[in-house]
Amino acid sequence: MLAEIQDFFRELAATSPHWNFIWIYDPVQMNRVLTGLWMTVKLSLFCLVFSVIIGIVGAWAQESRSRFLRGIVQVYVQFFRNTPPLIQLLFFYFALGQFTPSYSPDGWLEVPIISNVGWAIIALSFFAGAFNIEIFRAGVEAVPTSTREAAESLGMTRLQTYTNVVLPLTLRISLPALSANLVNLVKTTNQAFAIAVPELLYQSVSIWNDFPSAQKPTMLLMMICYLGLVGLLSAGMGQWERKLRIPGYGT
Amino acid sequence: MTNWTADQPIVRLRDVHKSFGQVEVIRGISMDVMRGEVICIIGPSGSGKSTLIRCINALNDIQAGSIQVEGQEVHGPKLDKLALRRKVGMVFQQYNLFPHKTALQNVMMAPIKVLKEKPAEVEARARALLKKVRLEGKENQYPGELSGGQQQRVAIARSLAMQPDVMLFDEVTAALDPETVKEVLVTIKDLAAEGMTCILVTHEMGFAREVADHIYFTDRGIIVEHGPPAEFFTQARDPRTRAFLDQVL
């Protein structure tokens, strides 16, 4: 079955030189696509988790009684929200990357402690995290003060009130906006291409640089891959939203 | 006054002053509440009634004077808020239930999280409390699925689950339909009959007359007049009290 499909595309490439689906019949190119896709998935997952953690912790810090802490969060949010993610990536990798220590595995090579993949995860998490803070903050502010007072009057500490009452309600209020931001995050991961992170776009470009006849099919493939990834994420978030729905609450 | 004994006032207010910015809403209120007493605070809107009881469990701070609960100063630097709130339960006008938790979970949350009690024991107590406020069978409903009166009774059970010595009720029937007011009042009456110390801010004059041991009438941040209901409702001396009673009775 697979062999027949591969034969078909090998023949197609021979007859129509613009439609070389090389990664279907050439195992080396197929491997490039798969490792690229896997890297995109990994980048997305790490950034999703870290950016949500940044969002929750940041939204909590914004409520802090310490003016200093609130100030820091504010500066962070403004900085990352108001600069382009591509430039953040370059800045992290080329500017900050200069100052991080490196180690030498064999006495000759100097390997930085944080790789380009590491920097991509850091930069993109901070980027999406800044938006998540604002999203969660809006959710936190939508929880009525009276609900918190009820928790307080039952003897709960600020942290207990936050984790048991404010956060669960915030999450439900924020979920639609959070979904939108996480979808954007997945689509932004391909900017890590600029610092040579071997994700899907990087691998695709490598393929069509080596085989110009494969350019159109590879672009098509990329589109489909992103559609699939973002579709999965949206479906998952939708599922989560439905699962968290409270009978009789909200709409 | 750390050596407090049960024959002394359980709640003791002395010359309490409270301002919001420039506006002084409480201008020197003193009051003693003994164990087992039911106190009703009545008065026109904006007379500082709600603020006053919010000060008793430290939801609001005060500018001057003293509030003591079982001998513990509420507005001192050494206040142990957890200890205070274990003694003082509060029920709000808008119920303020946790909308993401069922009735049972609402009642169970604080004893488990705050008092670190065993969930199984808390659950038994919570079920008994819900039964006591006549909500058997509603344990697994969410607040959004309950009527106002039912929600308010869950809120009362939630507060009772912390086994407080004093209960504060802040206009708890003001947001309810006339038909459901009664079911909440009956619940409070049961509590009072069991000897729970209750401080209520209320507009239900008939109820106040029936259950209160003592009635305080506040206007513009001071206590104008107070007395046992029989005297208060029939022999009010102050013209402000009489004007108010003429309007509401």
Please check whether residue A15 touches B, CB under 8 A. Answer: no
Instruction: Compute CA distances B81 → A203, B57, B76, B171, B194, whole Å.
Output: 60, 8, 11, 23, 26
pTM over 0.90: no
A146 vs B contacts (CB less than 8 Å) = 92, 94, 96
| CATH number among 1.10.1380.10, 1.10.3720.10, 3.40.30.10, 3.40.50.300, domain A36-243 | 1.10.3720.10
Each residue of B109-145: pLDDT tens digit?
999 999 999 999 999 999 999 999 999 999 999 999 9
Cβ-defined contact of B85 to A153 (cutoff 8 Å): yes
Above 60 in pLDDT, residue B1?
Answer: no
- Residues belonging to chain B with any Cβ–Cβ distance to chain A shorter than 8 Å: 57, 59, 81-82, 85-86, 88-90, 92, 94, 96-100, 109-110, 113-115, 141-146, 155, 158-159, 162
Quick check: A155 and B155 CB within 8 A?
A: no
Q: Do A155 and B162 touch (CB under 8 A)?
A: yes
Query: Which residues, listed in sequence order, are joined to residue B41 by a DSSP beta bridge?
Result: B201, B216
Task: Answer whether residue B249 shows pLDDT above 80.
Answer: no
Q: Tell me which chain B residues have a C-beta less than 8 angstroms from the C-beta of A150.
A: 90, 92, 96-98, 155
Q: What is the residue extent of each domain of chain A? A: 36-243
Question: What is the sign, positive or negative, of the torsion defined by CA atoms of B222, B224, B228, B230?
Answer: negative
Cβ neighbours for A152, distance < 8 A, ≥ 6 positions apart = A161, B59, B85
Q: Which positions of chain A have pLDDT values less than 50?
A: 251
Which of chain A's residues have a Cβ under 8 Å away from the Cβ of B105? none
User: Which tokens belong to B169?
Assistant: 């009720």
Span B188-198, average pLDDT: 92
Chain B CB contacts of A157 under 8 Å are 82
Q: Evaluate if residue B33 carries a pLDDT over 50.
A: yes
Pick the residue from chain B with its C-alpha nearest to A149: B59
Q: Percent of chain B scored above 90 by pLDDT?
A: 69
Q: What integer best gives the mean pLDDT of chain B?
A: 91
B11-248 domain in CATH 3.40.50.300? yes
* Chain B touched by A152 (CB under 8 Å): yes
Q: What are the structural domain ranges in chain B? A: 11-248
pLDDT at B77 over 90: no
Distance CA B181, CA B179 (A): 6
